Amino acid sequence: MIKIRNLRKSFGEHLILDNLNLDVRRGETMVIIGRSGCGKSVLLKHIVGILKPDRGEIFVNGENIVNLDRKRLSELRMKIGVLFQEGALFDSLTVGENVGFLLLEHSKKSRREIFEKYVREKLAMVGLSGVEDLRPAELSGGMKKRVGLARAICANPELILYDEPTTGVDPIMAAVINDLIRKLHNQLKVTSVAVTHDIKSAYKIADRIAMLYQGKIIEVGTPREIKNSSNPVIQQFIKGEKEGPIK
Ligand SMILES: Nc1ncnc2c1ncn2[C@@H]1O[C@H](COP(=O)(O)OP(=O)(O)O)[C@@H](O)[C@H]1O
Ligand SMILES: [Mg+2]
């Protein structure tokens, strides 16, 4: 579903991604772990074409998105649901308008049809029926995350990307969100990619885990393989996270 080859990205003098390679299989949940600031969000933004690499290739569903024109990129993006870090809801829109945003902007369907056939169904799937007329400011942090989730799945994507889905919510809400990610993955038969520095969340949702370190993916494996990895960088990350987030 995703094939990344020799991806390189720097901002000024600062090299963030350094000849990075990664394969994500169709239908799996891949979780990319790594310390804060190591380039996880930057990597995710390349997969949706928000950032352009200095060098390298990014195939999504067989298409090299680096060379796509705006129209093709916008078509491809309709098939990708993204849960951005912090939810990124628009405060001036209602919850329902936030959830249906992509369809309201880009599809020819009527507003009524979008609300009846997509928005309500997706809100129900994340356990939030009847909130479509509220404003984001009226929601708790956990509810905002779930509205972000409903928005990510609204247009029936084939690929869902999650940026730090459990960051900034309490442990109980984190467990709810991890369960939702697994449930939606199985129910919607999608490919999922999450980036996180939360190793517990990674163990719960991943089929495979990839570790990003110094601009490269240094190891890929099942949660069990990663847990038992002999790589000291991985062990340090896992142990560090048990004692609290690494700054
Ligand atoms: N648009 C940008 N311009 C300049 N530097 C950036 C930009 N986006 C990210 N960075 C830098 O790239 C590094 C990786 O950022 P990021 O991918 O957000 O880390 P994280 O792994 O925490 O998600 C950081 O040092 C950040 O400051
Ligand atoms: Mg980030």
Tell me what the pLDDT averaged over the chain comes to: 93
Q: Whose CA is nearest to atom 27 of ligand 1?
A: 37
- What ligand has the least distance to the C-alpha of 39? 1
Residue found under tokens 């002999």: 230
Q: Are 195 and 35 in contact (CB under 8 A)?
A: no
Q: Is the pLDDT of residue 243 over 80?
A: no
- As given in the structure block, the two tokens for residue 229 are 């990895």
Tell me how far the alpha carbon of residue 170 lies from the centroid of ligand 2, in angstroms: 18
Please say whether the dihedral angle defined by the alpha carbons of residues 48, 49, 54 and 59, taken in this order, is positive or negative: positive
Stated as kind and residue range, the H or E segment containing 160 is strand 159-163
Confidence of residue 15 (pLDDT cuts 50, 70, 90): very high
Report the C-alpha gap between 157 and 162 in whole angstroms: 13
The residue extents of the domains of the chain are 89-156
Cα 126 from chain centroid (whole Å): 16
Q: Is the pLDDT of residue 244 over 80?
A: no
Which atom of ligand 1 approaches the CA of 39 most closely?
17
Question: How many other C-beta atoms can be found within 10 angstroms of the C-beta atom of residue 230?
Answer: 7
Residue type, 74: S
Q: 86 vs 53, which has greater pLDDT? A: 53
* Residues surrounding ion ligand 2 at CB below 5 Å: 40-41
What residues contact residue 165 under an 8 Å CB cut-off, 6+ apart?
A: 83, 145, 149, 177, 178, 181, 194, 196, 201
Q: Is the pLDDT of residue 51 over 60?
A: yes
Query: pLDDT tens-digit profile of 57-113?
Result: 999 999 999 989 989 998 898 899 999 876 689 999 999 999 999 999 988 999 999
What are the E-state strand segments in the chain? 2-11, 14-24, 29-33, 55-60, 63-64, 80-83, 159-163, 191-196, 208-213, 216-221
Instruction: Name every protein residue with a CB atom under 6 angstroms from any ligand 1 atom.
Output: 11, 16, 34, 36-42
What percent of the chain shows pLDDT beyond 70? 96
Which atom of ligand 1 approaches the CA of 163 most closely?
23
Tell me how far the alpha carbon of residue 164 lies from the centroid of ligand 2, in angstroms: 7
Which atom of ligand 1 approaches the CA of 212 most closely?
21
What residues contact residue 232 under an 8 Å CB cut-off, 6+ apart?
A: none
Q: Is the pLDDT of residue 247 over 60?
A: no
Give the Å distances, CA to CA, from 167 to 110, 133, 141. Answer: 35, 26, 10
Helices (H), 126-164: 141-153
Q: Is the pLDDT of residue 115 over 80?
A: yes
Residue found under tokens 């990510």: 152
Query: pLDDT tens-digit profile of 155-210?
Result: 999 999 999 999 888 999 999 999 999 999 999 999 999 999 999 999 999 999 99
Tell me how far the alpha carbon of residue 45 lies from the centroid of ligand 2, in angstroms: 10
pLDDT of residue 141: 86
| Coil vs helix vs strand at 7 | strand
Q: Whose CA is nearest to atom 20 of ligand 1?
A: 37
Q: Is the pLDDT of residue 246 over 70?
A: no
